[in-house]
Structure 1
Amino acid sequence: MKTRQYLREGQILFREGSQSDFIFVVEKGEFEVSRYNRDGRVEVIDVLRPDDIFGELGVIESRPRNATVRALKDGVVAIVSKEEMLRTVRQNPQALMLILKTMAQRVRQASQGRKKALRARSKHELAPQAV
């Protein structure tokens, strides 16, 4: 039996720093992923859509959530417990590939974002200074 959670626009599914016991799969709607940056401001880091998986990092590491997830529209998420995930992976190791693919895409996006920020900073530092 699949467990689902229905969320209204603006409703928060979980907050940065909360317990990581479940992985989620977007079935319907859009969800904003945000976290506090070094300056203490909220930074949107992703928007999740149907079939996106999220929450896996905290579950795998057994650490608190590193972001807040909020519904941008009314939506539905499927909830997968850590135990259910482990049971599925034991029965079908290929199931782990979907989680690994999701994590690899996020690492790639973060790396590209860092490169863009470094290039922008380098251009700024190399620009002629007004005297």
Structure 2
Amino acid sequence: MDKGNIHHHHTGKSHKSCVSLVPMFNHLEDEQLDEIMGATQSVSYKKNELIYHAGDESDSLYIINKGKVRIYRLAESGKEQLVRILNPGDFTGEMALFSESTHESYAEAMVNTKICLIKRSDLQEFLVKYPSVSLKVIAEFSNRLEASEKQTTRFSTEKVETRIALYLAESLDQEGTGTIEFTLSMSKKDLASYLGTTPETISRKFNDLEERGYIKQITHKRIKIVDLDGLLLV
């Protein structure tokens, strides 16, 4: 799981698709995108390869172009705590935008992944030049802080069953298509880490919720919400 061979690609097209995927850049004009693209390098990682370790110098923004990345921390006991999963268009390393720092978490490619890297110095120039990008970055910071506070509160105040029920309700909301079905965005092992419990407990609680008529497990990862009001009262 050490950092393996890193392959750099400097093809304009893949850079452009990468940069234009990101909400904080996709409102810019083509000319502005081209400028940002010029400061971007494309890096490939194999499945299970670490993109960075806790303690590594944080000096770049990492934008997911293709693939999937898990961000996690290690407790003193060595136990993993999943922080978030990143998909194409998501980014990490944003703390590097404002100060010289080190990573506090680990980033690992869950599948073969392609990432676009932008160095701090280049990005800071863009933030000064294009204030709209700065506003988008602040909005993303605000969202992450809110999600982090919500997760911390849940860990300290809510029982596991409630955490699971709220996660399922929020997953339905994020799908936002008016449907009552959705696919879990992570494995039960990762979900257990994210919610501070064990995979066995996740499976048991899912079965309990199904028996009580709140959800239906269509496949291993496909869930149907049968009684949302009931689920929210768990």
- TM-aligned CA deviation for residue 97 of structure 1: 2.0
Q: Aligned letter for 2:117?
A: I
Q: Does 1:103 align with 2:147?
A: no
- Which residue does 1:29 correspond to in 2? 67
Residues 59, 88 of structure 1: CA spacing in aligned structure 2 closer, same or farther, 3 A cutoff?
Answer: closer
- Which residue does 1:63 correspond to in 2? 101
Q: Does 1:94 align with 2:101?
A: no
- Relative to its length, the structure with more strand (as a share) is 1
- Which residue does 2:153 correspond to in 1? 115
Greater Rg by CA? 2
* TM norm structure 2: 0.49
Does the Cα contact within 8 Å between 1:32 and 1:47 map onto a contact in 2? yes
The sequence identity of aligned pairs, in percent, is: 12
Give a deviation string over 1:16-72, Cα, whole Å, max 9, x none: 111011111111110000111254322111100111121011442311101110000
Give the CA RMSD over aligned residues.
1.5
3-state secondary structure, aligned to 2:131: coil
* TM norm structure 1: 0.85
Q: Does 1:84 align with 2:126?
A: no
Q: Which runs of 5+ in 2 are unaligned?
A: 1-37, 160-234
- Relative to its length, the structure with more helix (as a share) is 2
Distance (whole Å) between structure 2 residues aligned to residue 23 and residue 101 of structure 1: 16
Does the Cα contact within 8 Å between 2:97 and 2:123 map onto a contact in 1? no
Give a deviation string over 1:68-103, Cα, whole Å, max 9, x none: 100001111110101111111121111112221221
Matched residues, number:
121
Q: Structure with the greater relative contact order (CA < 8 A, sep ≥ 6): 1 or 2?
A: 1
3-state secondary structure, aligned to 1:94: helix
Q: Which runs of 5+ in 1 are unaligned?
A: 122-131
Deviates more, 1:40-49 or 1:27-36: 40-49
